[in-house]
Amino acid sequence: MHACTDGEISYLNATEDETIEFGTPKVGIRNYPADYQEQWYLIVPEGRQVQIDFDVFELEESENCKYDYLEIREADPNIMRGYRGPILTGRLCGSTLPSTIQSAGNLVWVQFMSNNNATTVYKGFKASFKAGLYKLGGAVASWLVPSRVPGSTGDGSTNPGRGHCVVFLVKTLNSRSVFLHPGV
């Protein structure tokens, strides 16, 4: 893991097989501070996606999460401005544990904001991230399920002397596709 802090901005870089935790200060031990802001840039190896999982999530709940919130966006590695990136989640608040979040690229910006309420009774959040799924060209591999089809050539015909095809199911951003790969 490589971590670098620049004021209230932290750059966390996970290697291929590493999981890194991040969150509000002293989560579970003490309530998060009032009038607090922190940003994280989560980075995984090129060609992989950022996968974020939550262990603890308890923030002040308000209409449209206008007081305390967590926001997660794709980040552009060329300008390192996460707040302008495509939104992965709207503002999150309350106590419902968010489900796993999967980015499209290998860089994500996360921001936590709390208002100036000095009497907050909320624990904050703790999450972890790791290098998630591989990107295959323009497709996103959500699963690879090899399945041998005896005698198939991949073009709909069969040829018993040709061997097998291995079928990989690949989820793309807009639809599902099936790619056939000749096997041995």
Domain positions in the chain are 2-133, 139-182
Average per-residue pLDDT for the chain: 75
Instruction: Give the CATH superfamily of 2-133.
Output: Spermadhesin, CUB domain (2.60.120.290)
Q: Which of 116, 110, 13, 28 is nearest to 70 (CA)?
A: 110
Greater confidence (154 vs 103) lies with 103
- Pick the more confident residue, 140 or 35: 35
Question: Do you know the residue count of the chain?
Answer: 184
- Global pTM reads 0.69
First-to-last C-alpha distance (Å) of the chain = 39
Q: What is the pLDDT of residues 165-177, one digit of tens each?
A: 333 333 333 333 3
In this predicted model, what pLDDT tens digit does every residue of 51-86 receive, in sequence order? Answer: 999 999 999 999 999 999 999 999 877 766 667 788
Distance between CA atoms of 28 and 94, rounded to whole angstroms?
A: 15
Greater confidence, 26 or 7? 26
Question: For residue 116, what are its two tokens?
Answer: 């100036």
